[in-house]
Structure 1
Amino acid sequence: MMFIIYYGFTEIYFKFNGPKYKPLEVQVQSNDGDVDKIIDLDDILEGVTILRPIKGIDPELEICLESSILQKYPSEKLQIIFCVENSQDPAIPIIEKLIKRYNHLDVELLIDESYEDNHFGPNPKINNLAKGYKMAKFDIIWVLDSNVFVNPGTLLRSIINLQKSIDNGRETFNFDTGKGNKIKIMHHVPLAVSINNSNTLGNLGARLDEMFLFTSHAKFYVFFNKASIAPCVNGKSNIYRKSDLDSSVMEISKGQIPLINNRESIAKAASTFVKTPGEGIRFFSRYIGEDNMIGIALWNDPNNGGRTGMTGDVVIQPIGGSTNNGLPFHYTNKIMDYVNRRVRWLRVRKYMVLAATLVEPTTESLLIGVFGTYGLSNLFFQGQYKKTIMFLHELIWCITDYTQFKILLKFANQDKLHDNQTISPYFINDHIEEKYKLINWLPIWILREILALPIWIMAMCGTEIDWRNRPFKIRTDLCAEEL
C-alpha cells in the first residue's frame, strides 16, 4: 500500500508540478520518411461536442460554465450543449445570458419537454445528458459536470493526447506496430476548492472535501490511471467517442463484456439502445455510478478495448459560500454534509468494486500506521519503539500530503494558454497563501484522517443512497433502484 501511495505521489510530483503546457503545433513525419515537418493543429484536430448536465444553481455556476466556452480550440470544431431537465430550472437565466454573450459560437440549451419521454432509468444525470448526446454533431464527446471550472487549454491538450494515445507525456500505443493499448477515455483529476477559507463549523465540510480530493483521493486516482490495471474514472470530466461507447453497448447486448453483463436481463436492456444511433449512453441510466460503468464498458470492449489517459490537467469545483450573478447564495457545508457524501459514494463502490472498497481503510494513514507499527516493531525491535515508529510514519505521511496539496493548489490554475479573455477565478487565487499556512492546513488534515475509518464503517453498515434529494438502493446486478 505504501508503494501505491508513493507511486501516485511521484506521478503528481513530476507530471502536475508546473504550468500546463502550450501545444501550438505538432511535429509529424513527412511522406518522404526523412524530414519532419510542422503542421498547424487546426489541420489534425477533430470536432468536439461539450455536454454539460445542469440541475439548479451550484456555487459560481456562471464562471464554471463559461470556462468551457472559453476553451482555446478551433471554434468551427466546437459545439457546446447545456442540458437541463425541466423548464423551471433556476439555472436557465444564467445559461441564456451566456448564450447571448457568445452568440457567435455554437452554444445551445436543450430542455426536456417531457419527464416520461426522457426517463430511461433512475440516474438523473444520464436522463438529462441523453438528448445532448443524441444531438451532438461530433463523434468526440466531453461530458463535463456543471459545477467544475476548467483551464482554457484542457480540451486542446486532451484531444491531442486522445488522438495520439499519450498519457501524461507517455505513449500507450504504437500506431506503427499496433502494440499497446489505445486511450479510450481522457479524464482529469477532480479537485474541490473551498471558497471560504475559514474553519468555522458551517464551512468544515467544504474544507474536508478540499483536503480529501487534494490528498488521499488524488494520489490513488493518479496511481490507478498510471498503473492501468483497471478503469478508475470519476465522472466530473470525461472525454470519449460516441462511436466507441455505442460499440461497447452493442457488445454488452451480445453478452461479451463481463462485470456489467452478469444477468441476461442486462443484455436484453442494452439491446434496446443499439437500434438507433446516438442512444448508447441511455443504457447507463440504470446505474448510479455511470462514470465507472462507462469506463468498464470502454475498457473491456473486445473490439475496441483500451485504457484511460491524463494530461496533467485538473478540474476544480468551488464549494462553500459564494455569490452568483451578483446575487448572494449561501451554501453551508458542515461536517455531516461531507460525511454523507463520502458514505454515499462508498456504498455505490461497495457493489461495483467490492474488493477495493473492503481494503480502502488500509489506504488511510492511521490504520495502515497501526499495522505497520505493529509489524516493524515486532519483526525488528522485539516489540519496542511503537510510539516512535507511529510518530515517524504519521510525520512522513503528513509531509507528503502537505507537499502534494501545495503542488496541486499552486498549479491548478496555471495554464500557458491563459490570456486577457480567459477567466482567472478568484476562488482559486484569493486564498492560496492562507491555505499554504501549516497552522490552517494541519487541523483539517488531522480531522479528515480521524474521520476516515468511521465513515467507512457507516458506509458498510447501510444500503440506501441519497443522491440529489432522491433515495436509491443498489441491487446485486449493480443497477440502481429508485425508492
Structure 2
Amino acid sequence: MASSSTDSGETTSLLAYGLSIIGITWYFILWSIGLLGWFVARRRYGLRPRSPLASAPASSVPGVSILRPLKGLDTNLYENLESTFTQEYPNYEILFCVHDEHDQALSVVRDLLAKYPNVQAKVVIGEDRVGVNPKVNNLMQSYRQAQHDILWVIDSNVLVSPGTLARSVDALTAPPPPSSPSRKRIGLVHHVPLAFSTEPSLGSRVEEAFLNTNHAKMYLAINIVALESCVVGKSNLFRRSDLDRVNGSLKSRATHPFADSSEGYGLAAFGRFLAEDNMIAAALWHELDLRHELSCDVARNAIGNMSLSDYVWRRVRWIRVRKRMVLAATIIEPFTESILIGLIGASSLHYLLGSPPIWFFLLLHFGLWLAVDMDIYASLAGHPVPANERWSFLTAWAVRECLAMPIYLLGIFGDEVEWRGKKYTVLENGEAARVGEKEGQKSGVWTSWLLGRGKGMGDYAPIPTGI
C-alpha cells in the first residue's frame, strides 16, 4: 500500500514538473512573439518617407481605383472620406459605393465632390446580391466599373495620411528582395489599424486600448514571421487580375488549375463569407502563392459612441468567425492573454525554483507587459498617450485584459452572430447563412440581461470587416 502511494506521488510530481517546464517555455515563447511585434512597431513606423511616386508624372505610375463602401453617417465620415481626396499620388480615381440613393452618406460625398472638382471621383449606387456579406454586395458594381487593375478597398470609418497610397503602391509593385528564399510576388498590401476614440464612452476606450496595444503587437509579429495569412480588411490594396483568379477554396492553382469560365471567381466568390477580407488575403496566399506586405502606414480607425456591451459582442462575433476559419489558433488564443499567461509563468517558475513569490512575479510581469503595450501605441501613433487621457486609457486597458477570458468563453460556445441587426449562423470555413429569428436576440437570456443588449450601436456602425 505504501509503495502504491509513493508511486502515485512520484507520478503526480513528475506530471507537475513536466507541466511547469511546458508552462515556462510557452511563457518565454509568447514574450518573444510580443517583443518581436514591439520591435517591428518601433522600426517600421518610426519613419514614413515620402515615396518617389508622389511627384512622378501620372503616365509613369500604375493607376489605382479607390473603392469606399458607404452606409449611413459613420463617425468622422467627412474627414475619413476627405483623406482619399488628398492623396499625394498622380493617378487614381475614387468610387463611392452605396446601396440606396437616399443614403445619408451621399450628402457628405457631394460636399467633397464640390470641394475637390479636380479629383476623379464618382458615386456608384446599387448593389449586386452575390452572397450574405453586405460589404461584398455593396462593392460589386464598383468592382466591375473600376478603371484600374490595382484596387484600394478602404472602409468608411478609416482615415489615412496623404502619403499612404504612394507608399502602398511602392510595396505592392516592389520586386522580391534578392535575400528572399521564396522570391514570391506581393499580392496584397495592408495597414495595421490604429483606433482613435471620438467619444468618452467606456466601450470606445476599451476598443481603442485593444486595437492599439495587444492586437497591434500580435498582428505585427504574425505578419513579420509570415507563416500564414493574417489580414484585417480596413485598408487593403490588391490587383483585380489576381482576385479574378481565386475563389476562396484555398487550393493551390498549381494543383487545381484556373477554370475556363470566370464564374465563381473574383470578388463575387467571397460574398458567402463573413470575413471576406481575411478570406481574400488567404486565397491570394494559398491559391496563387503570393505574399502580403505591411506598409509603414496605419489605418486610423474612428470609433464613435460604443458601449461596453457593443464592444463585447463585437469581439464575440469575430471569435465565432475565427473558430470556424482557424480552429487551432482560436483554441490557443486564451494562452496569449496577459492574465492567464502571467499566472502560468508565475506558478511554473515558483514550482521549479521555489521563488520568486507569485505576487512579485505577477507585478513584474504586468508592469513590463503594460510598458511594451504603451510603447507600441506611441510607435504607431507617433506620440505617447496624451497626458490628459492617460488614466482613462490605463483603465480601459485593464478592463480589456480582465474581459479577455469571459469574452472568449462567450464566443467559443455558439455559432450565431449579429451584423447590423441581422442574424447569421457561421458555417464551416467562415461561410454564413441568415437566421430567421427576431432581431436583437442573443445567445441566452442571462447574457442579454447581463450585458444590457437592446441598446443601439450609437455612432459606431461601420460596415463590418476584419476579425
Same fold (TM over 0.5): yes
Deviations 1:101-134 (A, max 9, x none): 222221000011xx6xx11100000000111110
The 1:316–1:163 alpha-carbon spacing in structure 2 relative to 1, beyond 3 Å, is same
Amino acid at match of 1:345: W
* CA distance in structure 1 between the aligned counterparts of 2:89 and 2:191, rounded to whole angstroms: 18
Do structure 1's residue 53 and structure 2's residue 69 form an aligned pair? yes
Q: Is the 8 A contact 1:162 1:185 kept in 2?
A: yes
User: Which of these residues, 348, 354, 378, is aligned with residue 327 of structure 2?
Assistant: 354
Q: Is the 8 A contact 2:338 2:369 kept in 1?
A: yes
Q: Is the 8 A contact 1:16 1:411 kept in 2?
A: no
Identify the residue that residue 324 of structure 1 maps to in structure 2.
Answer: none
Q: Secondary structure at the match of 1:310?
A: strand
The 1:178–1:361 alpha-carbon spacing in structure 2 relative to 1, beyond 3 Å, is closer
* CA distance in structure 2 between the aligned counterparts of 1:183 and 1:293, rounded to whole angstroms: 16
The 1:62–1:235 alpha-carbon spacing in structure 2 relative to 1, beyond 3 Å, is same
Q: Secondary structure at the match of 1:453?
A: helix
Identify the residue that residue 195 of structure 1 maps to in structure 2.
Answer: 198
* CA distance in structure 1 between the aligned counterparts of 2:306 and 2:284, rounded to whole angstroms: 35
Do structure 1's residue 294 and structure 2's residue 294 form an aligned pair? no
- 1:23 CA drift (Å): 2.1
The 1:241–1:178 alpha-carbon spacing in structure 2 relative to 1, beyond 3 Å, is farther
The 1:369–1:478 alpha-carbon spacing in structure 2 relative to 1, beyond 3 Å, is same
Q: Is the 8 A contact 1:45 1:160 kept in 2?
A: no
What is the correspondence of 1:124-143 to structure 2 with a 5 Å cutoff? 124-143=134-153
Deviations 1:450-479 (A, max 9, x none): 011111000011211111221111112531
Q: Secondary structure at the match of 1:312?
A: strand
Q: Is the 8 A contact 1:273 1:280 kept in 2?
A: no
Of Structure 1 and Structure 2, the greater helix share is in 2
The 1:341–1:477 alpha-carbon spacing in structure 2 relative to 1, beyond 3 Å, is closer
* CA distance in structure 2 between the aligned counterparts of 1:187 and 1:466, rounded to whole angstroms: 26
RMSD of equivalent CA atoms: 2.6
The 1:126–1:410 alpha-carbon spacing in structure 2 relative to 1, beyond 3 Å, is same
What is the correspondence of 1:2-151 to structure 2 with a 5 Å cutoff? 2-18=31-47, 20-24=48-52, 40=56, 42=58, 44-74=60-90, 77-112=91-126, 118-151=128-161
Identify the residue that residue 311 of structure 1 maps to in structure 2.
Answer: 295
Deviations 1:222-255 (A, max 9, x none): 1111111111110100000000111223x959x6
Query: What percent identity do the matched residue pairs reach?
Result: 36
Identify the residue that residue 406 of structure 1 maps to in structure 2.
Answer: 378
Q: How many residues align?
A: 405
Provide TM-score, normalisation by structure 1.
0.79
Q: Is the 8 A contact 1:173 1:179 kept in 2?
A: no
Q: Is the 8 A contact 1:45 1:159 kept in 2?
A: no
Q: Is the 8 A contact 2:217 2:373 kept in 1?
A: no
The 1:103–1:42 alpha-carbon spacing in structure 2 relative to 1, beyond 3 Å, is closer
Instruction: Provide structure 1 residue ranges, at least 5 long, that are not aligned to the other structure.
Output: 27-38, 166-171, 262-266, 321-331, 413-430
- 1:445 CA drift (Å): 1.4
Q: Is the 8 A contact 2:186 2:291 kept in 1?
A: yes
What is the correspondence of 1:337-352 to structure 2 with a 5 Å cutoff? 337-352=310-325
Q: Secondary structure at the match of 1:286?
A: coil
Identify the residue that residue 378 of structure 1 maps to in structure 2.
Answer: 351
* CA distance in structure 1 between the aligned counterparts of 2:228 and 2:124, rounded to whole angstroms: 34
* CA distance in structure 2 between the aligned counterparts of 1:313 and 1:368, rounded to whole angstroms: 31
Do structure 1's residue 444 and structure 2's residue 396 form an aligned pair? yes
Q: Is the 8 A contact 2:53 2:166 kept in 1?
A: no
- 1:16 CA drift (Å): 1.2
Q: Is the 8 A contact 1:173 1:181 kept in 2?
A: no
User: Which of these residues, 235, 244, 247, is aligned with residue 245 of structure 2?
Assistant: 247
Identify the residue that residue 474 of structure 1 maps to in structure 2.
Answer: 426
Identify the residue that residue 406 of structure 2 maps to in structure 1.
Answer: 454
Provide TM-score, normalisation by structure 2.
0.81
Amino acid at match of 1:445: W
Identify the residue that residue 189 of structure 2 maps to in structure 1.
Answer: 186
User: Which of these residues, 250, 256, 268, is aligned with residue 282 of structure 1?
Assistant: 268
Q: Is the 8 A contact 1:374 1:383 kept in 2?
A: no
Q: Secondary structure at the match of 2:103?
A: coil
Identify the residue that residue 445 of structure 2 maps to in structure 1.
Answer: none
User: Which of these residues, 405, 417, 420, is aligned with residue 465 of structure 1?
Assistant: 417
Q: Secondary structure at the match of 2:299?
A: strand
- 1:272 CA drift (Å): 11
Amino acid at match of 2:188: I
* CA distance in structure 2 between the aligned counterparts of 1:299 and 1:362, rounded to whole angstroms: 27
* CA distance in structure 1 between the aligned counterparts of 2:241 and 2:181, rounded to whole angstroms: 20
Instruction: Provide structure 2 residue ranges, at least 5 long, that are not aligned to the other structure.
Output: 1-29, 436-467
